[in-house]
Structure 1
Amino acid sequence: MRISLTVLGFVFLLTACDKNDESITPPTNHEEKVIVKVDSTYNINLVENITYAEALKHDDWNSSTTTVIPLKLDAYIPENSLLKRPAFVLIHGGGLDFGSRTDPNMVAMANYFASRGWVVFSLDYRLKNDKGTVPASWKLSTSNDDVLKVYPANRDVKAAIRWLYAHSENYNIDTDFITVGGGSAGAFLSVSLGVSDAADYTSEISITDDPTLSTTNIIQPVKVQTIIDFWGGDAHIQYLELISGIQRFDSNDAPILIAHGTNDNVVDFSAAETLESKYQATGVNYEFYPLQGFGHSAWGATVNGKSLSDLAFEFITLEQEITVE
């Protein structure tokens, strides 16, 4: 295990397959290596407004009055001829209350990685005011909007990963090299993707209750290989564990990079320490960077002269054993 430098306050924080069945993973071309560039190298083709799934929006939680809405993402595609590319899925923050895939921090990070060889997807998901469909078990456990909003957001980001698998050949993506990451709420969602079981945030609702599930490539995997967590935590997982009585953290979880401001007054620094302790217990690789003196949304932070994107680049390429030129 490598360690560099050294919550349930759930409602407040967020106003901030067994473990992925790989039996149907699309075949990949193993005759070529996945290669990325250490410096910005490629021009980028930006394709906007791609619909990755549909979802229900309710007038009130689980009300009978619904609207079907498209879920969108933008693709940042490096202009190269490589047949095997890694993928990076970016998830914006905003406490599940606001925000979008065009957040300037997401755009900057997307351009950083796409220019070095990743196919990057920045996505939208349902927010609290959309009042997406929630399972009966959630509705019975709470009437708090700031808890209920967690389910549809997680359902949507899982749909985005399944969409990526279903369309990987269109983008020359090797699905053995998928990273998810984001800041704040986007980090909570990323942690959930890398730690929750494949059925979580999907199978609790039937297609009868939510017909839009049929648009979410439901038979595809949701496995990711690395997580980038900027000032997030594991509150989504904690809630799943409370509902099910089953622990989710185990040795099959995706390795994680954690960066968190020590003076964060939105998502307390202790959330990062809790996450670190759970990774220590499972033995899964992680790196932890306390951002000394920084608060929430510390996008401008550096560690030993390296930006957060630089740290993420080094972590991903090392963990996934990607060739760097």
Structure 2
Amino acid sequence: MNKLITYFTSLAVLFLVGCNDNTPEVQNNGEGTIRSASTFSVVTQEDITYAEGLGRNPSNSSLVTVPLKLDIYFPDNSYSDRPVFMFIHGGGFKGGTKTKPEIVEMAEYYASRGWVFASIDYRTTEELGSLQGLSQDDLFTYYKGIAPQEWIENTFEGAETQEQVQQSIAMYTAQRDSKAALRWLIANANNYNIDKDLITVGGASAGAITTIALGISNPEDFRDEISLDDDPTLSSTNLDQTYDIKSMIYFWGSNIKLDVFEGVYQLNRYDANDPELFMAHGDQPDPVTPYEEALELQGIYDSLGIYNQLYTLEGFGHGAWNATVNGKGLFELSFDFLVDRQNLITE
């Protein structure tokens, strides 16, 4: 059973129930906006439409335009040069929400200390309609403008059920959408006093998988494979914006999406300029995102000489939001990593 089949099989079950000493170049020349403790009141703006994407009506499978939403949290102050942290929820590419309680708590943690924190939704299988009665040839028309033909073709080599076909397509749309969300943040950086040199992306489970592909793939990947003629909603995604991710925060994820991308396009995107990486991963048996995935990713990073930290959450499996290492929870551990590696000034 190949890696893709293993992943999809495990997702169905889940949904139902070392480093080098490189010195980062980024400097914070702002007004000392970061606090080591919760200091600022947090302003929340909910359900901002950052872009649109194509989907299928769940009741009649007609082609529809799906509004893509994010929530943004920021400190109630007038400081400039705020770092930004965009977080991507999990859910096996079958569901999930930007308002998961643990994510809201994390948003409050970071925004009250000076960050701009964005939690995004994206298209999942819930927006991809029903495949009932469709042949393989039908799917190329059904998913036109939603996923590129070469991705659909590759899906049939790794998926064994219609559900897995949808999950594979949703892996593509999640990536396209997360990149659109980040471009929206860049386009609106002045509105939130964001320092575009201090960008962090992170996620849990499927969100961590999407995070890794977001930080390591090229800007044009998961963007230019579909034309504006086939997907007019691409025009809503701030295509003129660029970004440079400095750090990635990964909770119990994997690099499977990059494996699939390489299988489809024969392109390996890892290089020595990839963002630095924080990982937290449980060491207990996990059929969805095994601990070995974190070790594999750490090995790739070490071979490229990129700074990374892997925190092994001993005794924990998938979704270990309440895990601690040396008395520190995930929010504090990731906070310390970002402050240190982005040379942020704390008060």
* TM-score calculated relative to the size of structure 1: 0.89
Measure how far apart 1:58 and its partner are: 2.3
Task: Tell me: CA distance 1:221–1:229, structure 2 relative to 1, closer, same or farther (3 Å).
Answer: same
Larger Rg: 2
Return the alpha-carbon distance in structure 2 between the equivalents of residues 309 and 119 of structure 1.
Answer: 15
5+ long unaligned stretches in structure 2: 15-27, 129-142, 157-164
Per-residue Cα deviation, 1:123-154 (whole angstroms, up to 9, x for no partner): 10000131270001011222422222110010
Are the equivalent residues in 2 in contact too, given 1:193–1:222 (CA < 8 A)? no
Instruction: Identify the match of residue 219 of structure 1 among 222, 237, 240.
Output: 240
Per the alignment, residue 81 of structure 2 pairs with: 84
CA distance change for structure 1 residues 13 and 206 in 2, over 3 Å: closer, same or farther? farther
2:309 aligns with 287
Residue in 1 that maps onto 2:256: 235
> Could you list the per-position Cα deviations for residues 87-143 of structure 1 after superposition, in whole angstroms to 9, with x for gaps in the alignment?
011111111111111001110100000000001111100001312700010112224
Distance 1:262 1:236 in 2: 21
Residue identity (%): 42
What residue number does 2:330 align with?
308
Q: What is the distance in 2 between the residues matched to 1:206 and 1:166? A: 22
Other-structure match for 1:106: 103
Deviations 1:14-68 (A, max 9, x none): 556xxxxxxxxxxxxx8635530000000001111100001111259xx993111
**Bigger proportion of residues as helix:** 2
Note if 1:204 corresponds to 2:225: yes
Give the equivalent residue in structure 2 for 1:161: 182
Amino acid at match of 2:206: A
CA deviation string 1:193-250 (max 9, x = no partner): 1111111110000010100000000111142110000000111111111111121111
Look up the match of 1:19.
Answer: none
Indicate the residue corresponding to 1:252 in structure 2.
273
**How many Å separate the matches in 2 of 1:217 and 1:141?**
28
- SS in structure 2 opposite 1:50? strand
Distance in 1 (alpha carbons) for counterparts of 2:290 and 2:51: 33
CA distance in structure 2 between the aligned counterparts of 1:190 and 1:138, rounded to whole angstroms: 19
Structure 1 segments unaligned to the other structure (5+ residues): 1-6, 17-29
Aligned partner letter, 2:86 = V
1:25 equivalent in structure 2: none
Partners in 2 of 1:31 and 1:315 — Cα distance?
19
Decide which of 62, 67, 72 is 1:70's aligned counterpart.
67
Q: What is the RMSD computed on CA atoms of the aligned residues? A: 1.9
Distance 2:115 2:9 in 1: 34
Q: TM-score, normalised by structure 2?
A: 0.84
- The secondary structure found in structure 1 opposite 2:317 is coil
Q: Which moved more, 1:104-113 or 1:123-132?
A: 123-132
Task: Map 1:80-159 to 2 at 5 A.
Answer: 80-131=77-128, 133-143=146-156, 144-159=165-180
Please say if residues 33 and 346 of structure 2, whose CA atoms lie closer than 8 Å, have aligned partners that are also in contact.
Answer: yes
- Aligned partners of 2:250, 2:152: CA distance in 1, in Å? 28
Equivalent residue number for residue 36 of structure 1: 34
